[in-house]
């Protein structure tokens, strides 16, 4: 077998000898490893997918089984979270079942491939229990159909202890890797990162055998001396094959360290490549129809409602409203196409509205007073309803690794007026395995508002349940000032009434507002009954959309949460024109880390993903705790109005 030193010499000799521009980060031939990071088998690589890409990895090994969801908010950033089941390792206090764990991984690109290799750094189990805690620096270089990778591993990637940690030359503290948590676990612990007395060198390659099959080989430095209780490695190497069913779905079969064979399934998607731009749909109308009627029909046929059209000289003013399209860029494209297709010669000024809220005004009252009315919509009451199948996951509970429900779900809306809307959500469970969710939460401080989620899930067995039944009133008080008044059953756990105010200057990239709601906890039958808990919750909110350098959205809120604790939440997210959104959040309240327990503070991620033409909305927390809990609402003013902002 080739020695480590000889491989390193050959690797760098090839890099110097050959260099050419290649499609090294292509979506098809780079595949997630067993831990949901673009890489080899267990080892990572310096390869990345395009921003907005995402995927799910299902891995069955020995002893760990893992499900990882991975996203790419930027071309240079890969983030993922995982659930794992470690077979044979008892869950403390519940020794009759296997150990369950959750955590975050992150990888950042430092350099793309050029004459020299691509370089990336990463941290696994960033704020978890430490079972998978490991860090790495990795380089990658592709030559034709072979992609070479070489890196250094710390923590769980340091199973060989090849040589001294080079970072210890900078600071002696890098020699010592903590073995205990700084507090309750589930928190960031920077003293762990890139600390070890020694490090291990991993390397390997992937080889494109044909347009469907990849062969992968690596020096696997996974530490077998860990809490996961891996078998002692019989070999330093792992190898196997990836078979691509199509560009989205692949299957992997691997021999890991000559100890066992593992199986992996991957679904991945690059929405930039796979979701087409909106395709304008011209309507079927009579030849003798006027230009204005054609224009209105064109807009209506493409999901944009026209409230009225007025005319002053060679200028027409159009008042529109819409719910369908994800951003103003798509709306403007449709308006341009509709104008051209209608043979309109006048200049078009558009006022944008959503649920009768004035968002962008390109003509004012004086223009309207001096204009003649061409068209006005007859405002009528309306009803729309849709029913679909939905899957509700509940993973890594102490009762079992996988729990879920197959639901038949109905969403309906009744429009009393453009700004007065009743909406409902009804659910019926066709199948679920929630019955054995009976182990109570460990902490319910300062009040139990979210940690009793299992009681609500068991309520799905009682027939049709009400997920939401609320009425909303919207009003623009004057330019840039908006209010929303809501009452009813807001979500599965809370009902109540309240209002929100937002100052949203359309020409700026920020907004500010506040919200106040009196809430009552719903009972576990998910009908109209209530429990003996109520509170007034409210927050001051600040929003900002950054367009320069690193584009992202920020939301900062301060106030009182559902459980009565007081503090602030900060949220960062990235949105894309195709509707994909990734985000992270953290809440810090007057509940101390000792009172909070494991995890120390509330944190998590959320995403909207277009899978099978539908958007999957999901929020994930490492632990379901009561502090930092906010009311879940169908709509808020900022999310409605930001649709008319350019995507960053």
CATH code of the domain in which 318 resides: 3.30.70
Element (H, E) at 274: helix 271-274
Considering the domain boundaries, does residue 616 fall inside one?
Answer: yes
Q: What CA–CA distance (Å, rounded) separates 603 from 505? A: 30
Task: Give the mean model confidence (pLDDT) for residues 267-274.
Answer: 82
**Tokens representing residue 437 in the block:** 């969710």
Rounded to the nearest integer, the mean pLDDT of the chain is 88
Q: What CA–CA distance (Å, rounded) separates 394 from 398? A: 11
Are residues 156 and 54 both part of a single domain? Answer: yes
This prediction has a pTM of 0.85
Q: Please report the pLDDT score of residue 19 as a whole number.
A: 40
**Residue finishing a domain among 313, 348, 376:** 376
Are residues 412 and 517 both part of a single domain? Answer: yes
| Interior angle at CA 408, CA 406 and CA 411, nearest 5 | 135
CB hemisphere CA count around 191 (13 angstroms): 11
- Specify the number of domains making up the chain: 3
Query: Token pair 């004012």 is at which residue?
Result: 364
**Residue finishing a domain among 243, 274, 305:** 274
The band of 15, judged by pLDDT with boundaries at 50, 70 and 90, is: very low
Q: What CA–CA distance (Å, rounded) separates 251 from 244? A: 6
| Interior angle at CA 162, CA 156 and CA 163, nearest 5 | 110
Considering the domain boundaries, does residue 514 fall inside one?
Answer: yes
Q: Please report the pLDDT score of residue 323 as a whole number.
A: 65
Q: What percent of the chain has pLDDT over 70?
A: 92
**Residue finishing a domain among 219, 243, 274:** 274
Q: Please report the pLDDT score of residue 22 as a whole number.
A: 43
Residue 482 has pLDDT above 50, yes or no: yes
The secondary structure of residue 437, as a DSSP letter, is: -
Residue 646 has pLDDT above 60, yes or no: yes
Q: Please report the pLDDT score of residue 16 as a whole number.
A: 46
The band of 18, judged by pLDDT with boundaries at 50, 70 and 90, is: very low
The band of 561, judged by pLDDT with boundaries at 50, 70 and 90, is: very high
Beta bridge partners of 219: 237
Q: Please report the pLDDT score of residue 1 as a whole number.
A: 46
**Tokens representing residue 225 in the block:** 């001396």
Considering the domain boundaries, does residue 281 fall inside one?
Answer: no
Give residue 339's domain range.
291-376
Considering the domain boundaries, does residue 393 fall inside one?
Answer: yes
Considering the domain boundaries, does residue 183 fall inside one?
Answer: no
Considering the domain boundaries, does residue 470 fall inside one?
Answer: yes
Sort 409 into a burial class: Cβ within 10 Å, 0-12 / 13-18 / 19+.
Answer: middle
Q: Please report the pLDDT score of residue 609 as a whole number.
A: 74
The band of 21, judged by pLDDT with boundaries at 50, 70 and 90, is: very low
Q: Please report the pLDDT score of residue 3 as a whole number.
A: 55
The pLDDT tens digits for 127-164 are 766 789 999 999 999 988 999 999 999 999 999 999 99
Considering the domain boundaries, does residue 65 fall inside one?
Answer: yes
Query: Token pair 């169908």 is at which residue?
Result: 634
Are residues 599 and 514 both part of a single domain? Answer: yes
Q: Please report the pLDDT score of residue 549 as a whole number.
A: 84
390 or 455: whose pLDDT is higher?
455
Are residues 337 and 408 both part of a single domain? Answer: no
The pLDDT tens digits for 223-241 are 988 888 889 999 999 999 9
Are residues 198 and 121 both part of a single domain? Answer: yes
Residue of 600, 584, 629 whose CA lies nearest to 105: 584
The pLDDT tens digits for 427-477 are 999 999 999 898 888 778 899 999 999 999 999 998 999 999 999 999 999
Are residues 131 and 258 both part of a single domain? Answer: yes
Q: Please report the pLDDT score of residue 343 as a whole number.
A: 86
Residue 276 has pLDDT above 70, yes or no: no
Are residues 201 and 251 both part of a single domain? Answer: yes
Q: Please report the pLDDT score of residue 162 as a whole number.
A: 95
Q: What CA–CA distance (Å, rounded) separates 266 from 580? A: 19
Q: What CA–CA distance (Å, rounded) separates 400 from 434? A: 10
Are residues 413 and 370 both part of a single domain? Answer: no
Beta strands of 434-480 (E only): which ranges? 465-478
Considering the domain boundaries, does residue 150 fall inside one?
Answer: yes
Residue 378: how many CB atoms within 10 A of its CB? Answer: 4
Q: What CA–CA distance (Å, rounded) separates 163 from 276? A: 50
Are residues 351 and 398 both part of a single domain? Answer: no
Residue 347 has pLDDT above 80, yes or no: yes
Q: Is the peptide bond before 529 cis (omega within 30 degrees of 0)?
A: no
The band of 247, judged by pLDDT with boundaries at 50, 70 and 90, is: confident
Are residues 401 and 311 both part of a single domain? Answer: no
The answer to whether 27 touches 53, Cβ cutoff 8 Å, is: yes
Are residues 393 and 435 both part of a single domain? Answer: yes
Q: Please report the pLDDT score of residue 278 as a whole number.
A: 76
**Tokens representing residue 116 in the block:** 């020299």
Residue 355 has pLDDT above 80, yes or no: yes
The pLDDT tens digits for 404-425 are 999 999 999 999 988 999 999 9
Beta bridge partners of 421: 415, 472
The answer to whether 63 touches 230, Cβ cutoff 8 Å, is: yes
The pLDDT tens digits for 581-640 are 899 999 999 998 888 877 778 888 888 776 644 556 667 777 789 999 999 999 999 999
Where residue 64 sits, what CATH number does that domain have?
Answer: 2.40.160.40
Residue of 507, 573, 506, 510 whose CA lies nearest to 354: 506
Are residues 593 and 495 both part of a single domain? Answer: yes
In this structure, are strands 315-321 and 305-312 parallel, antiparallel, or unpaired? Answer: antiparallel
Q: What CA–CA distance (Å, rounded) separates 397 from 403? A: 8
């Amino acid at each position: 077998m080739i020695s480590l030193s000889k491989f390193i010499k050959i690797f760098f000799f090839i890099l110097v000898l050959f260099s050419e521009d290649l499609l090294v980060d292509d979506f098809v031939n780079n595949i997630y490893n067993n831990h949901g990071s673009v890489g080899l088998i267990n080892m990572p690589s310096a390869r990345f997918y395009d921003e907005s890409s995402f995927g799910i990895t299902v891995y069955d090994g020995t002893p760990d089984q893992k499900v990882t969801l991975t996203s790419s908010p930027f071309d240079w950033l890969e983030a993922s979270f995982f659930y794992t089941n470690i077979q044979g390792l008892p869950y403390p206090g519940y020794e009759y079942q296997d150990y369950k764990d959750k955590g975050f991984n992150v990888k950042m690109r430092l350099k793309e491939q050029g004459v020299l290799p691509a370089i990336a750094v990463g941290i696994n189990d960033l704020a978890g229990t430490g079972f998978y805690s490991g860090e790495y620096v990795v380089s990658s270089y592709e030559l034709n159909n072979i992609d070479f990778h070489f890196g250094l591993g710390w923590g769980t990637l340091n199973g060989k202890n090849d040589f001294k940690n080079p970072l210890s030359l900078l600071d002696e503290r890098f020699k010592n890797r903590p073995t205990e948590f700084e507090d309750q676990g589930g928190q960031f612990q920077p003293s762990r990162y890139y600390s070890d007395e020694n490090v291990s060198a991993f390397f390997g390659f992937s080889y494109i055998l044909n347009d469907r099959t990849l062969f992968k080989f690596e020096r696997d430095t996974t530490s077998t001396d860990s809490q996961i209780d891996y078998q002692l490695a019989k070999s330093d190497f792992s190898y196997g094959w990836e078979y691509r069913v199509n560009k989205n779905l692949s299957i992997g079969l691997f021999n890991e360290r000559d100890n066992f064979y593992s199986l992996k399934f991957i679904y991945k998607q690059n929405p930039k490549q796979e979701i087409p731009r909106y395709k304008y749909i011209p309507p079927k109308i009579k030849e003798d129809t006027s230009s204005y009627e054609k224009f209105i029909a064109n807009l209506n046929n493409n999901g944009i409602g026209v409230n009225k059209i007025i005319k002053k000289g060679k200028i027409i003013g159009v008042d529109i409203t819409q719910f369908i399209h994800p951003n103003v860029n798509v709306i403007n494209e449709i308006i341009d196409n509709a104008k051209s297709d209608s043979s309109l010669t006048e200049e078009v000024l558009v006022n944008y509205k959503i649920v009768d809220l004035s968002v962008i005004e390109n003509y004012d009252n004086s223009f309207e007073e001096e204009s003649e009315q061409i068209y006005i919509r007859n405002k009528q009451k309306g009803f729309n309803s849709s029913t679909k199948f939905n899957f509700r996951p509940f993973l890594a509970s102490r009762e079992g690794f996988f729990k879920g429900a197959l639901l038949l779900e109905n969403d309906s809306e009744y429009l009393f007026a453009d700004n007065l809307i009743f909406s409902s959500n009804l659910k019926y469970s066709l199948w679920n395995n929630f019955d054995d969710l009976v182990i109570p939460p460990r902490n319910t401080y300062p009040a139990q508002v979210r940690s009793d989620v299992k009681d609500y899930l068991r309520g799905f067995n009682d027939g049709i349940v009400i997920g939401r039944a609320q009425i909303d009133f919207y009003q623009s008080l004057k330019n840039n000032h908006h209010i929303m008044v809501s009452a009813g059953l807001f979500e599965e756990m809370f009902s109540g009434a309240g209002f929100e105010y937002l100052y949203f200057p359309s020409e700026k990239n920020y907004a500010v507002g506040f919200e106040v709601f009196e809430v009552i906890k719903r009972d576990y039958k998910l009908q109209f009954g209530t429990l003996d808990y109520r509170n007034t919750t409210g927050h001051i909110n600040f929003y900002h959309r950054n367009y320069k350098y690193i584009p992202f959205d920020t939301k900062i809120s301060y106030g009182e949460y559902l459980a009565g604790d007081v503090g602030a939440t900060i949220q960062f997210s990235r949105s894309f024109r195709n509707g994909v959104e990734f985000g992270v959040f953290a809440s810090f309240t007057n509940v101390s880390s000792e009172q909070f327990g494991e995890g120390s503070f509330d944190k998590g991620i959320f995403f909207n993903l277009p899978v099978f033409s539908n958007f999957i909305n999901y929020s994930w927390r490492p632990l379901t705790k009561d502090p930092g809990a906010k009311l879940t609402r169908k709509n808020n003013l900022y999310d409605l109005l930001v649709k008319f902002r350019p995507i960053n």
